[in-house]
Structure 1
Amino acid sequence: MNVLHWKLGLVLGLLILSIWLLYPTVEWYTKPAEERGKLEAIKMRPRRILNLGLDLRGGTHMLLELDVEKLDKKTNLADALVRAIEIIRNRIDQYGVGETPISRQGERWISVDLPGISNTEEAEDLIGRTALLEFRLVNTSPEAEKALARVAELNESPFAKGGALSPEIAKLMPKGALLFRAASEEDGARTKYYVLESTVPVTGAYLENARVETDSQFGTPNIAFTFNKEGGKIFESFTGDNVGKYLAIVLDDVVHSAPVIKSRIGGGSGVIEGSFTIETARNLAIVLRAGALPAPVKIIEKRVVGPDLGEDSIKKGLTASVIGFLAVVLFMVVYYKAGGFVANLAIGLNVILLIAAMSYFSATLTLPGIAGMILSLAMAIDANVLILERMREEMALSKPIPLIIPTAYDKAWSAILDSNVTTWIAAIFLFQFGSGPVKGFAVTLTIGLLCGMFTSVFVTRAVYEFWLTSNPKELSI
């Protein structure tokens, strides 16, 4: 009797825990979409809730390719790809998009899903920007002035295809100097260029923090940055040795400002000025904090899923699931009577446990994930059918009820275990070698199989054992 109490207590405890874990998810998705959007904007989205995938929520899918030609020859490609994924994930996390599916595809591709993000330009800027921050001295030699004067006379870009300087301008450039364009301050304005030294004494690798600040004089947004201890020392020494010279702040090969060094700059901090909006300044601060990509990434595929399509998918998926679930419930009760009712209780608990577990792990539910959920429920139903059919076989042998139930479970166990383990192995391979939706299917299926085995075998047996305490005269199956 003590063992039975323990079993029933465990089942009841798991049910209460599951409801508690489900509450944040239910509360979140019962809010109006507009209210959810506002809460997400201020990063008030609950952490442990069930996330909806791109096909259910709408958003943007991107396939990125790492530009291996611009990768440092000393850097391993596999390590660079892992680093790029980590940096992109950090950028997206700081932007406020929770639990974004980011996965490696092949040797140099990265798949990124951004549920709820339909502004593709902003997403591309956030993800695709290399964010290589450099501090270079401006070359003010006569040769540099002559090269810039010739560039100003041209009616075309001084750069040829591939980014190399045109032969004419290259001949005029001082030795050990490079030409950079400046960030455009106004639309339609003529592009300004700078001749900078090729040596880079300080880079963004030493950055500790970057944040948006408002200029006290003009009210425009700027990016304030802070170096770590080592970077602060290098920056202070460098500025002290070059007082009176111009220091260009270069981000992704574009000069944002080139102020004069008036004195030694201590404290390891500074400001990047430019024609920023609040949003562009915020995104720039995010990518600087997350770090520079090991090499540029190119967006080779982009797909936008509208929220209306996602909402339609949810409705159709839920409708199909509910109809199928009710049909199974009705069949089990009609065909197996009281035994079918017990099986239905187990299936219902299975659904609650499955969604609660996914909510706890902040898993992402997709349409393939719903398919995995339905398949796991089908496996649970199959397990219950095996047990009930074994009970009928034992009843046909006129065995007493207290003996029918344990015998049926013992005989059905091997078949239940085999079917679930083989399916689970297939799910592991799908997760290991699949991508995106396939992984979502595998994750949901795996969790569903574990919940299904628990409810079909452990929970239903506990219910029958509790029923046996009333000394029943017959078994209604």
Structure 2
Amino acid sequence: TSSIMGGGGQPAMTLVEDQDGLVTLSITDAGVTEKIRKAIDQAIEVLRRRIDALGTTEPNIQRQGVDRILVQVPGLQDPKRLKDILGTTAQLEFRMVAEGNSSSPDVEMLPQTEANQPPLPIEKRVIVQGEDLIDAQPGFDQRTSEPIVNFKFNIRGAQRFGTATSESVGRALAIVLDKKVISAPRIQTAITGGQGQISGRFTVEAANNLAILLRAGALPAPLTIVEERTVGPGLGQDSINAGKIAAYVAAFLVVGFMFVTYGLFGLFANIALIIHVVLIFAMMSLIGTTLTLPGIAGIVLTIGTAVDSNVLIYERIREEARQGRSMIASLDAGFTRAFATIVDSNVTMFIAAAILFFLGSGPVRGFAVTMVFGIVTTVVTAVTMTRMMIALWYTRARPQKLPF
């Protein structure tokens, strides 16, 4: 008896040889569990790619139990389309239409997606699979103007597709999706460029959906929707209100602290802070980003970092003044010497936010987006805006000492 170890350190399969030399290969319970775990992980990634392609805001996709996946999509306008996208396995195959004896064991009868069309005899041998696709985009046929899906193979898929079409000129090539024939065009000439198109009397939405499915990849196993629930906006509104209150309280405390600690300069910092928040909203509106609870948290955090930049500048100005420098020299040295520290800290935060954006998903990416916007506007407002207001104040008032 010998064992084949799985990824979790447990034996995934066992090999048993009896006295007659018969070898029995058995999958252990640990092996089955490991297979299910990997299939669920792969399915979650495929579902996330599909939902992200729909343009929805911060979907929540997580494992529940051993073999279930919870999908939460806020603000969805078309639940039926989502179910169609999630429930389709999207196993794409390119096979030849059989010629001659359709009762051969190497041939199977597959239904067509088009209504009132008889099943077609399709060879079981698969030429190319959907996993060899690297891109799929919806488009329109140049001759008929009908919606189509343009696809592109990787190097391996292009070689296999080119070889098969060059050897089968004049035969019909079936494009099969989840054991249904979408179309079966006749090969007019060898297709060696690794590109092609799928047509099947699609609507525009159907072509878009198919392109999304092909780009996201096939599910490792069919999914069954066991429960569907629609949550009204009232439940989420409580969380939104709590987030707003937290943002207001944080802003009030920061504004009050700056004004009490730094007087007139604190007022300048508060004005720059307001401009900072306005710029964040403007940038989010410019690219169409939706403000969510993690986004609100990101804004609150950037408010603190923006004020921190002003604190660095003001404390540096105060130190320069204590060393006996003149008013104008203290102001200039404060901004100049604090600038490097401000840039270093913001670059560090920018790198962290970029990592969160590219490696995270859903709410984490929303938080990272507002963080990036806040970091950019912090440098603009804390350094440029505040310096401009202080310069204007100094030019007009000609003070002899700092107001704090």
Pick the TM interval, shorter chain: 0.5 to 0.7
Shift, 1:255, TM fit: 4.6
**Cα pair 1:427 1:443 within 8 Å, conserved:** yes
| 1:436 aligns to 2:395 (yes or no) | no
Structure 1 window deviating more from structure 2 (340-349 vs 436-445): it is 436-445
Query: What amino acid sits opposite 2:84 in the alignment?
Result: D
| 1:38-69 deviation line (CA, Å, top 9, x unaligned) | xxxxxxxxxxxxxxxxxxxxxxxxxxx99989
Aligned CA distance change for structure 1 residues 432 and 112 (closer, same or farther; 3 Å): farther
The secondary structure found in structure 2 opposite 1:198 is strand
| 1:339 aligns to 2:265 (yes or no) | yes
Look up the match of 1:317: 243
| 1:286-332 deviation line (CA, Å, top 9, x unaligned) | 558x6683665666999976544444433332232123213322332
| Paired residue total | 345
Select 2:304's aligned residue among 358, 375, 378.
Answer: 378
Aligned CA distance change for structure 1 residues 407 and 282 (closer, same or farther; 3 Å): closer
Query: What amino acid sits opposite 2:246 in the alignment?
Result: A
Aligned CA distance change for structure 1 residues 297 and 402 (closer, same or farther; 3 Å): farther
Look up the match of 2:97: 137
| 1:469 aligns to 2:399 (yes or no) | no
Shift, 1:374, TM fit: 1.3
Aligned CA distance change for structure 1 residues 340 and 183 (closer, same or farther; 3 Å): same
Aligned CA distance change for structure 1 residues 300 and 364 (closer, same or farther; 3 Å): farther
What TM-score do the two structures reach when normalised by structure 1? Answer: 0.52
Query: What amino acid sits opposite 1:293 in the alignment?
Result: G
| 1:369 aligns to 2:295 (yes or no) | yes
| 1:351 aligns to 2:273 (yes or no) | no
Shift, 1:343, TM fit: 0.7
**C-alpha RMSD over aligned residues:** 5.7
Look up the match of 2:82: 123
Q: Distance in 1 between matches of 2:251 and 2:355?
A: 28
Q: Distance in 2 between matches of 1:355 and 1:381?
A: 18
Look up the match of 1:454: 380
Aligned CA distance change for structure 1 residues 399 and 115 (closer, same or farther; 3 Å): same
Q: Distance in 2 between matches of 1:417 and 1:123?
A: 44
Aligned CA distance change for structure 1 residues 447 and 112 (closer, same or farther; 3 Å): farther
Q: Distance in 2 between matches of 1:67 and 1:140?
A: 44
Aligned CA distance change for structure 1 residues 392 and 240 (closer, same or farther; 3 Å): closer
| 1:105-127 deviation line (CA, Å, top 9, x unaligned) | 9xxxx999855226555314225
User: Where does structure 2 lack aligned partners over 5 or more consecutive residues?
Assistant: 1-34, 64-68, 153-157, 190-195
Shift, 1:253, TM fit: 0.6
Aligned CA distance change for structure 1 residues 223 and 381 (closer, same or farther; 3 Å): closer
The secondary structure found in structure 2 opposite 1:476 is coil
Q: Distance in 2 between matches of 1:292 and 1:394?
A: 58
Look up the match of 1:251: 177
Query: What amino acid sits opposite 2:106 in the alignment?
Result: G
Look up the match of 1:293: 217
Aligned CA distance change for structure 1 residues 68 and 239 (closer, same or farther; 3 Å): farther
Q: Distance in 1 between matches of 2:91 and 2:147?
A: 13
Q: Distance in 1 between matches of 2:351 and 2:264?
A: 34
**Cα pair 1:67 1:297 within 8 Å, conserved:** no
Q: Percent identity?
A: 33
Query: What amino acid sits opposite 1:343 in the alignment?
Result: A
Look up the match of 2:122: 196
Q: Distance in 2 between matches of 1:410 and 1:224?
A: 59
Q: Distance in 2 between matches of 1:428 and 1:258?
A: 46
Query: What amino acid sits opposite 2:399 in the alignment?
Result: P
| 1:260-310 deviation line (CA, Å, top 9, x unaligned) | x9xx999x999747xx9x79856656558x668366566699997654444
Aligned CA distance change for structure 1 residues 250 and 449 (closer, same or farther; 3 Å): closer
**Cα pair 1:66 1:295 within 8 Å, conserved:** no
Q: Distance in 1 between matches of 2:283 and 2:111?
A: 53
Aligned CA distance change for structure 1 residues 363 and 66 (closer, same or farther; 3 Å): farther
User: Which runs of structure 2 are paired with 1:21-420 in the superposition (5 Å)?
Assistant: 88=49, 93=53, 97=55, 115-117=74-76, 120-127=79-86, 128-130=88-90, 132=92, 134=94, 136-137=96-97, 141=101, 144=103, 174-180=104-110, 195-199=121-125, 250-255=176-181, 272=200, 281=206, 286=211, 293=217, 296=220, 306-363=232-289, 365-393=291-319, 399-410=325-336, 412-413=338-339, 416-417=342-343, 419-420=345-346
Shift, 1:373, TM fit: 1.9
User: Where does structure 1 lack aligned partners over 5 or more consecutive residues?
Assistant: 1-64, 70-77, 145-173, 187-191, 214-221
Q: Distance in 1 between matches of 2:263 and 2:120?
A: 84
